[in-house]
Amino acid sequence: MTFLNDNTLDNGLAALKAAADKVYICSAEPATYTAATSTNALGNKNFGAGAVFPSAIAAGSPSGRKLDSAAITDGSVTATGTATHDATVTSGSSRLEIAQALSASQAVTSGNVFTRTAQTVRLPNLGG
Amino acid sequence: MSLSQNRKGDRLELDGGRFRVEAGPALKRAKATETLLSNDQTAEHYQHGLPDAKGEEITLGQHFHYLDYLNPYVFYLYEKVDVDPSDPDSPYHVPEGSVTLRDDNVDVSKYTYVYEERGAFETEDEAVAQAERLAA
């Protein structure tokens, strides 16, 4: 692995921090923006640009730089199904930013609220 | 039959938004082996005991689904279909009085249409051709 200056890592995370605005829960791992926001979407939380990741970029562990997301306390469930993944998107440019598995699958019912704990995005550097 | 085209970023919209073509990693199904689960064959989050692309637990020796991030992307074709949130039998049904039907958030709490996948293709042109066949 090649050493990367923190400034390089920070600029990658800064782009994500500035642009991302919505988090979706999905019935499968989305391959595209459309899959995340429509085909596989079971619910969403609209934070607004810059609010998905309200924290400052900080040192990661064991290496690199990290960014913490806000927790979700009042996400809208829009379809009944089993949520297995979540996706963070930038809706203005129709960009799928992050797709990841939930810590456990969860049956959800349309019209209810979903919650999610804060998540950490880390870009590793030398040291893994 | 030629459909109108409108490129929005990385996405191609056809026929006024009836179809979308978007690049992404191919969805594949294979038997989980130590070789396939190594990080030079599949993305590092596919590991024995962890969820696959459909949320099922990956077990060595059993088939699993994964998105192939490590090879050239394919082009997914989606078609817009109407759904009825007032239909109690629809998975998109949102009961009246639901706590998610906030006045400030109606546009994201109730779906009236969704995009269903209509296949994955090696090239964007092939996806467009399939959309034209579906529209004919």
pLDDT tens for B70-91 read 999 999 999 999 998 888 899 9
By the 10 Å C-beta count (0-12 exposed, 13-18 middle, 19+ buried), A26 is classed as: buried
Cα(A100)–Cα(A25) distance, integer angstroms? 10
Contact A45, A71 (CB under 8 A): no
Whether residue B105 is predicted with pLDDT greater than 60 in this model: the reply is no
Query: Among partner residues A34, A79, A111, which is closest to B95 by beta-carbon distance?
Result: A111
Beta bridge partners of A43: A25, A77
Which residues of chain A neighbour B101 with C-beta distances below 8 Å? 111
Whether residue A113 is predicted with pLDDT greater than 50 in this model: the reply is yes
What integer pLDDT is reported at residue A41 of this predicted model? 96
> Would you state the structure tokens that stand for residue B107, as one six-digit string?
């546009």
Backbone angles phi, psi at B23, to 5 degrees: -80, 145
Average per-residue pLDDT for chain A: 94
CA distances from A86 to A37, A115, B51 (A): 10, 12, 13
Beta bridge partners of A116: A72
Contact A89, B9 (CB under 8 A): no
Task: List, in order, residues 6 or more apart from B116 with CB less than 8 Å away.
Answer: A39, B78, B79, B81
Backbone angles phi, psi at A38, to 5 degrees: -140, -65
CA distance B22 to chain A (A): 7
Number of helices and strands in chain A (H, E): 2, 9
What integer pLDDT is reported at residue B31 of this predicted model? 98
- Within 10 A of B50 (CB to CB), how many other CB atoms are there? 13
Residue B100 contacts A, CB cutoff 8 Å: yes
Residue B16 contacts A, CB cutoff 8 Å: no
What integer pLDDT is reported at residue B108 of this predicted model? 53
pLDDT band at B6 (very low <50, low <70, confident <90, very high): very high
Residue A82 contacts B, CB cutoff 8 Å: yes
Q: What are the DSSP calls for A81-117, one per residue?
A: EEEEEEEEEEGGGTEEEEEEEEEEEEEE-TTSEEEE-
Residue A93 contacts B, CB cutoff 8 Å: yes
Query: Among partner residues A41, A84, A110, which is closest to B51 by beta-carbon distance?
Result: A84
Query: Among partner residues B10, B25, B111, which is closest to A31 by beta-carbon distance?
Result: B25
Cα(B3)–Cα(B12) distance, integer angstroms? 11
Mutate to test the interface with A, among B40, B83, B94 (most CBs of A within 10 A): B94
Whether residue B106 is predicted with pLDDT greater than 50 in this model: the reply is no
Q: What is the DSSP letter of B90?
A: S
CA distance B124 to chain A (A): 14
Query: Among partner residues B67, B100, B110, which is closest to A29 by beta-carbon distance?
Result: B67
For B24-53, what is each residue's pLDDT tens digit?
Answer: 999 999 999 999 999 999 999 999 999 999
Higher pLDDT, B9 or B38: B38
Residue A49 contacts B, CB cutoff 8 Å: no
For A63-96, what is each residue's pLDDT tens digit?
Answer: 999 999 999 999 999 999 999 999 999 998 899 9
Contact A13, A67 (CB under 8 A): yes
